[in-house]
Amino acid sequence: MSFPPVRGLARLPWRWIAHVSLAVTVVLFALALPQLADGDWSDLRTSALHHGWVLVWLLALSYLARSRSLLNVLGAAMGGFFTAMWISLTVGGRTAEWLGAYDPWQLSFAVPVIEEVAKVVPLLIVILAWRGRPDGSPGAVDLAILGVASGAGFAFHEDALWSRVSGSGFDTPLGWVLPTAHTDAGIVAGHAGWTGMVGLALGIWVVNRRRRWTALLPVAALALAIADHGLWNDPVLRGDWRAVLLDGWLPVVLFLVGTAVALVIETRRVHRATGGATTRLARNLPRLLVRSWSPWNLVLRIVRGTGIIRLSAMTAHQLAWLESGPRGARPATQEVRS
């Protein structure tokens, strides 16, 4: 039996496959909600609000730097809700049979490793799908947002299964920035924060993959997420070792500060790569929308303007890698000193 060459996969209509897959998962998600709610929608609404709000402000602030759209973010959330949860339940169920459901090794090691790796799977699919594409690649801000979306989808599903709300919500100022939990033992970044941090590290590596040392960043970020998750799951280790992670503040600070720096860098990169065209377009977009004389023109202008900025961002992120030159070579603009 012969199989088609791997290169033939590139000829498949991936855009339509992605759209159909997303539509199917959204329908399945809607059908699953009544069963998960089991007549009590209050916890589901609260969890959805806490996690959804974070994605809203991330999408708004990163408008001029990101190349991912709302549909891409929704796809990542569905990946966390379905794919990551299925992997976690399947593999975690096997390890629970071997170790015991409440064994310390199961709670503090096996579960964190399985869940954190499973939530990264949707991000790896995005990276592989865009690998070598001539029209651009996702950036660090893109993958940070997709990481938050994947973690948020997973956390929402987990909250529904346990009939709980894992975060502290808007009770603290930080809750307006990230769906964290505040306890007597410190702060918990939560699934959205952990996977967002790993996604940010993956994005830095993707954009700067000519620099070999950047490959260590996602590995270190994943190890940090697993450690924080594992220490939180084990009450015995929590009090003794969590101070090393600044009582849970280390992942939160790394994600927020790293995302802010990446946002500034990639916004400037897109601005330079387009000669300021995207900035001018965004500045003039409200005026263009006001001049729209029909709902159709309004939608058309929004879609066109957003599409131009997304394409510009993809190209700019790819240029950051191409301009670094071939492996081991100096960029052409670099001054060579004797």
Most confident range (mean pLDDT) of 22-31, 41-50, 144-153 is 144-153
User: Does the predicted TM-score (pTM) go above 0.85?
Assistant: no
In sequence order, what are the residues at sequence separation of 6 or more whose Cβ sits closer than 8 angstroms to the Cβ of residue 19?
Answer: 71
pLDDT for res 318: 66
> Tens of pLDDT along 42-55?
888 888 899 999 99
Q: Is the pLDDT reported for residue 245 higher than 60?
A: yes
What is the rounded distance in angstroms from the CA atom of residue 71 to the CA atom of residue 51? 16
Q: Are the beta carbons of 188 and 178 closer than 8 angstroms?
A: no
Would you say residue 321 has pLDDT above 70? Answer: no
| Residue pLDDT, tens place only, 280-319 | 666 666 666 566 566 666 666 666 667 767 777 776 676 5
- At residue 9, the pLDDT reads 54
pLDDT at 7 over 60: no
pLDDT more than 70, % of the chain: 77
Give the whole-angstrom CA distance, residue 62 versus residue 266: 9
Query: What confidence category does residue 268 fall into, taking pLDDT thresholds of 50, 70 and 90?
Result: confident
Q: Give residue for tokens 């939160």.
A: 252
Cα four-point dihedral sign 188, 115, 220, 327: negative
**pLDDT (mean) for 33-49:** 85
Q: Is the pLDDT of residue 136 over 80?
A: no
Distances (CA, A) of 99 to 89, 96, 108, 229, 269: 15, 5, 12, 18, 49
Query: For position 326, what pLDDT does the model report?
Result: 46
Given a cut of 50, whether residue 337 has pLDDT beyond it is: no
Q: Is residue 185 predicted with pLDDT exceeding 60?
A: yes
3-state per-residue secondary structure call for the chain: CCCCCHHHHHHCCHHHHHHHHHHHHHHHHHHHHHHHHCCCCHHHHHHHHHHHHHHHHHHHHCCCCCCCCHHHHHHHHHHHHHHHHHHHHHHHHHHHHHHCCCCHHHHHHHHHHHHHHHHHHHHHHHHHHCCCCCCCCCCHHHHHHHHHHHHHHHHHHHHHHHCCCCCCHHHCHHHHCCCCEEECCEEECHHHHHHHHHHHHHHHHHHCCCCHHHHHHHHHHHHHHHHHHHHHHCHHHHHHHHHHHHHHHHHHHHHHHHHHHHHHHHHHHHHHHCCCHHHHHHHHHHHHHHCCCCHHHHHHHHHHHHHHHHHHHHHHHHHHHHCCCCCCCCCCCCCCCC
